[in-house]
Amino acid sequence: MLAVDDVSLTVGGGEIVAIVGENGAGKTTLMRIAAGELAADAGTIERSGTPSLVHQHFMLVGELSIAENLALTQRDRFRFATRSTIEREATRVIDESGIELRDVTRRVDELSVGEKSKLELIKAISRKPSTLILDEPTSVLTPREAEDLFRVMRTLAANGTAVVFISHKLPEVLAIADRIVVMRRGAIVPTSAKTPNELAHAMVGDLMERQLPAGRSAGFQPALVDENLVVHKSEIVAIVGVAGNGQTEVAARLRDRLDAASSGHIPEDRTRDGIVAEMTIAENLALTAKRWSPRQAARHADRMIELYSIRARSSAQRAGDLSGGNQQKVILARELDRHPDVIVAAEPTRGLDIEATHFIHDRLRSAAAAGAAILLITSDLDEAFALADAVQVIYRGKLSERLTPADAQMRVAGLMAGLA
Amino acid sequence: MRRFVVALIAAAVAILLLALSGAAFGHSPRELLALLVEGSIASRFAIEGTLLKSVPLLLTGLAVVVAFRAGVWNIGAEGQFIVGALAALLAARWGVAAALIASMLAGAAWASIATAMRMWRNAPEVLTTILLNFIAIHLLGWCVNGPLQEHEQRYPQTDAIDASLPSIGNLHAGIAIAIVASIVAWWLLYRTAEGLRLRATGFNPFAAKWAGIHVNAQIVRAMAVSGALAGLAGGIELAGVTHRLFERFAAGYGYSGIAVALLANLHPLATILSAAFFGALATGAGELQRTAGISSAVSTFGQAVVMLVLILFSAIEEKRWSR
């Protein structure tokens, strides 16, 4: 199968172009070719200046500070610079970008995922590229941060920069893009879609028939109790909040505290914590299995590939070669198939397309229907409201009281900003 | 398959460079190559020498494979080898089986000191295992000059032990033990759930931890097994070949194990071939020294060349990946 096949795309200066499509549709591959990171087997690229690509996965040096990471992008300028010059310059670059990121002396390892993505964006903008390509820029941002980003994008476009961005969030695509390009299975789909629904149709072909949410009944006994957090059997509780308010710590604490045999964990950083890239899909699926034989594992993996519609050549494929959405499905399959009593899912659909998101939501719902207690940690409010029986807001490491979804809709914005 | 070709190229380049380097000492490369082959595989005597040299290399190589697969950098096979041999010497009075068991326990314990320091204060095992090597080397030196010195007190060496591995001619049963050990190591690493978890820990300890694997337990166990294998190598060398200990007993077998493991791409079965290659190289180098007067240290040179070629290839590969 080809990742990208016979695609022709022109982007002019001052234009904002959105590229939408399912996981594995070839969006990232196409953009990496355009940016010169990957070589195409055939075809030509014409461009003025070098495009700057902001990756879905971070390209940062964890051991260095924010300021040092920014200085790395302009190595020639900072050959003999002192620490204070680098930090002053970094602060200036950040201010200029219009993106909020405080304290440039912090080590990148210590930043939250949301902050890391901001830093990536600042890095790209600081190069003053003629073309800026953003891969899933809003997937880790709060609505307000996303608004800020759009403002930055518009300013850049107004100054003549061509802006290309990959996104799964159709409303925002419609709101900001001058032009929308839909990709499906490595090709561009001609479309004149004007609404999210039409776009979704163009992306997935025929929208699969959606399962209705499984009926859930709360009121079972508590399965997970942690400080002021309670999750009952068959219940989904969502922790929402702006990235970097202690969500990562909650997930890590629960991982260490809960019994590994009866709990499933979907980590926030799927490439670092979720899969073992060097191992095969079958091996990744068997990590927690009681027994291991290659043949049996391959059979099991084939079943999981089918059941979780993982798009892979075979169960012997390296997990690291899968697209983000398919890696996530591998993790989901591994963690859910053991039927754990408690599931902690952190940002389970970050960066995934609609189809994969629906799929994962359905799986989580049916796991709850089957009796699992699910703690959903997410910065995507739509996701929280789509799934949760109860919502708690996290702000500076503290959890709010338990809210019903209806209450939460009224109060969540204030709580997230620390106002309540 | 590609890995195998790369390993073959590395081995071939090493031999080629060895032969060419002879020119610097006024020998023709062809003559040197002939001597290398003659000294390592051309006669029954040469083959026996190669096999005997391969046994400790195979076991220390396996020790490195097991540790590296778990992501722990055990550079201490040399020290574990020595401590294993010392324990075997002390336990030899109860028979050869007791000696070998003692060597494994001692090697495992010695390696576990490094693990304990890692768990206790996060001390990097690369450092601690190397430092433990020095301690082991000096411990041996003290023993053979002091409490364990032979009765005549003439040379810095111990008395010969009575226990001996069963053997046919010069070939002792250690060869079979080492080959069985590689098959068992392969089975454990690639055919058991714990082996899968050990390898996952080595590749990505973060993901392993999130998947519910007890990462520290994997590291503790891998290090203990690794130390036991290196200790066993020392025990077999004592009970099968030297029968006594002396200062230069370890002769770099522990460090050579690293080259053996890397040439085998950290695969237990490939380690058999890799150990045989380095065993032949060392035996052939002995012949060079006897006949052509070239220091047998050239076999160390050969190891270095193999490692450099392997590193070169993986650097090229990485470059290709990142494009």
B191–A294 CB contact, under 8 Å: yes
Residues 176-195 of B with CB under 8 A from A: 190-193, 195
Mean pLDDT for A74-85 is 75
pLDDT at A114: 73
User: Does the beta carbon of A265 lie under 8 angstroms from any beta carbon of chain B?
Assistant: yes
Q: Tell me the DSSP string of A65-120.
A: BHHHHHHHTTTTTTTT--HHHHHHHHHHHHHHHT-----TTSBGGGS-HHHHHHHH
Mean pLDDT for A152-160 is 86
May I ask the CATH class of domain A222-276+338-416? alpha beta
User: Does the beta carbon of A277 lie under 8 angstroms from any beta carbon of chain B?
Assistant: yes
User: Does the beta carbon of A210 lie under 8 angstroms from any beta carbon of chain B?
Assistant: no
Q: Which of the four pLDDT bands, split at 50, 70 and 90, describes residue A282?
A: very high
Nearest by CB to A273, which of B196, B200, B210?
Answer: B210
What are the residue boundaries of the structural domains of chain A, listed by start?
16-204, 222-276+338-416
Interface probe for B, chosen from A259, A273, A291, A377 (most Cβ of B below 10 Å), is A273
Residue A4 has pLDDT above 80, yes or no: no
pLDDT at A214: 39
pLDDT at A75: 67
Nearest by CB to B193, which of A37, A255, A290?
Answer: A290
Write down the mean pLDDT value for chain A: 83
Mean pLDDT for A102-131 is 84
- Shortest distance between the Cα of B258 and any Cα of chain A, in A, equals 22
> A66 vs A10, A55, A63, A100, CA distance in Å?
34, 17, 10, 13
How many CB pairs lie under 8 A apart between chains A and B? 66
Q: Which residues of B touch A334 (CB under 8 A)?
A: 211
Q: Is A17 helix (H, G, I), strand (E, B) or coil?
A: strand
Lowest-confidence pick of A134-148, A178-192, A244-258: A134-148
- Between CA B227 and CA B323 the distance in angstroms is 40
Q: Which of the four pLDDT bands, split at 50, 70 and 90, describes residue A362?
A: very high
Q: Which of the four pLDDT bands, split at 50, 70 and 90, describes residue A36?
A: confident
Q: Which pair of tokens denotes residue A344?
A: 């902690």
pLDDT greater at residue B61 or residue A262: B61
Interface probe for B, chosen from A281, A292, A343 (most Cβ of B below 10 Å), is A292
Residue A182 has pLDDT above 60, yes or no: yes
User: Does the beta carbon of A292 lie under 8 angstroms from any beta carbon of chain B?
Assistant: yes
Interface probe for A, chosen from B69, B203, B210, B319 (most Cβ of A below 10 Å), is B210
Q: Edge-to-edge strand order for the sheet containing A162-166?
A: A52-54, A131-135, A162-166, A16-21, A179-184, A187-189
pLDDT greater at residue A58 or residue A403: A403
Q: What pTM was estimated for this model as a whole?
A: 0.74
Q: Which of the four pLDDT bands, split at 50, 70 and 90, describes residue A109?
A: confident
Minimum Cα–Cα distance from A287: chain B residue: B197
Lowest-confidence pick of A146-150, A247-251, A400-404: A146-150
A283–B197 CB contact, under 8 Å: no
Q: Which of the four pLDDT bands, split at 50, 70 and 90, describes residue A208?
A: very low
Residue A412 has pLDDT above 80, yes or no: no
Q: Which of the four pLDDT bands, split at 50, 70 and 90, describes residue A211?
A: very low
Can you say how many angstroms the Cα of residue A75 is from the centroid of all Cα atoms in its chain? 30
Residue carrying the six token digits 């250690």: B174
User: Does the beta carbon of A282 lie under 8 angstroms from any beta carbon of chain B?
Assistant: no
Mean pLDDT for A369-373 is 90
In chain A, pLDDT over 70 holds for what percent of residues?
A: 90
- Shortest distance between the Cα of A409 and any Cα of chain B, in A, equals 32
Q: Which of the four pLDDT bands, split at 50, 70 and 90, describes residue A420?
A: low
pLDDT at A218: 47
A292–B196 CB contact, under 8 Å: yes
A273–B207 CB contact, under 8 Å: yes
Mean pLDDT for A125-143 is 80
- Between CA A111 and CA A102 the distance in angstroms is 11
Q: Which pair of tokens denotes residue A135?
A: 């891969």
pLDDT at A377: 95
Residue carrying the six token digits 């234009």: A15
User: Does the beta carbon of B56 lie under 8 angstroms from any beta carbon of chain A?
Assistant: no
Residue A206 has pLDDT above 60, yes or no: no
Nearest by CB to A287, which of B192, B197, B206?
Answer: B197
Q: Which of A17-26, A366-375, B97-106 has the highest mean pLDDT?
A: B97-106
Nearest by CB to A286, which of B196, B203, B206?
Answer: B196
User: Does the beta carbon of B203 lie under 8 angstroms from any beta carbon of chain A?
Assistant: yes
pLDDT greater at residue A40 or residue B131: B131
Lowest-confidence pick of A112-121, A229-238, A323-332, B104-113: A112-121
pLDDT at A417: 67
Q: Which pair of tokens denotes residue B227?
A: 């130390």
User: Does the beta carbon of A283 lie under 8 angstroms from any beta carbon of chain B?
Assistant: yes
CATH of A16-204, one of 3.40.1160.10, 3.20.20.210, 1.20.58.220, 3.40.50.300: 3.40.50.300
B192–A274 CB contact, under 8 Å: no
∠ at Cα A343 (A313, B198), nearest 5°? 60
Residues 24-63 of A with CB under 8 A from B: 37-39
pLDDT at A213: 38
B206–A294 CB contact, under 8 Å: no
Strand-pair category, A162-166 with A16-21 = parallel
Q: Which residues of B touch A278 (CB under 8 A)?
A: 203-204
- Shortest distance between the Cα of A179 and any Cα of chain B, in A, equals 30
Residue A217 has pLDDT above 50, yes or no: no
pLDDT at A80: 73
pLDDT greater at residue B288 or residue A349: A349
pLDDT at A219: 54
- Shortest distance between the Cα of B189 and any Cα of chain A, in A, equals 10
- Shortest distance between the Cα of A146 and any Cα of chain B, in A, equals 30
Q: Could you check whether A16-204 and A222-276+338-416 share the same CATH topology?
A: yes
- Which of A262, A248, A231 lies closest to B212 in space, CA to CA? A262
Per residue of chain B (323 residues), give pLDDT as tens. Answer: 778 888 888 888 888 888 887 777 778 888 888 888 888 888 899 999 999 999 999 999 999 999 999 999 999 999 999 999 999 999 999 999 999 999 999 999 999 999 999 999 999 999 999 999 999 999 999 999 989 998 888 889 999 998 889 988 888 999 999 999 999 999 999 999 999 999 999 999 999 999 999 999 999 999 999 999 999 999 999 999 999 999 999 989 999 999 999 999 999 999 999 999 999 988 988 888 888 887 777 778 888 888 888 888 878 877 665 54
Whether B266 and B186 have beta carbons less than 8 Å apart is answered as: no
Interface probe for A, chosen from B204, B265, B317, B318 (most Cβ of A below 10 Å), is B204
Nearest by CB to A293, which of B191, B199, B207?
Answer: B191
Q: Which pair of tokens denotes residue B191?
A: 């055919």
Q: Is A347 helix (H, G, I), strand (E, B) or coil?
A: coil
3-state helix, strand, coil in chain A (%, to 5): 40, 15, 45
Minimum Cα–Cα distance from B201: chain A residue: A276
Minimum Cα–Cα distance from A344: chain B residue: B210
- Shortest distance between the Cα of B322 and any Cα of chain A, in A, equals 8
Q: Which of the four pLDDT bands, split at 50, 70 and 90, describes residue A129?
A: confident
Query: Which residues lie across from A399 on neighbouring strands?
Result: A394
pLDDT greater at residue B136 or residue A210: B136
Q: What is the ipTM of this complex?
A: 0.87
B204–A277 CB contact, under 8 Å: yes
Minimum Cα–Cα distance from A291: chain B residue: B193
B211–A288 CB contact, under 8 Å: yes
Q: How many CB atoms lie within 10 A of CB B18?
A: 23
A274–B193 CB contact, under 8 Å: no
Mean pLDDT for A172-192 is 83
Q: Tell me the DSSP string of B282-305.
A: HHHHHHHHHHH---TTHHHHHHHH
B212–A260 CB contact, under 8 Å: yes
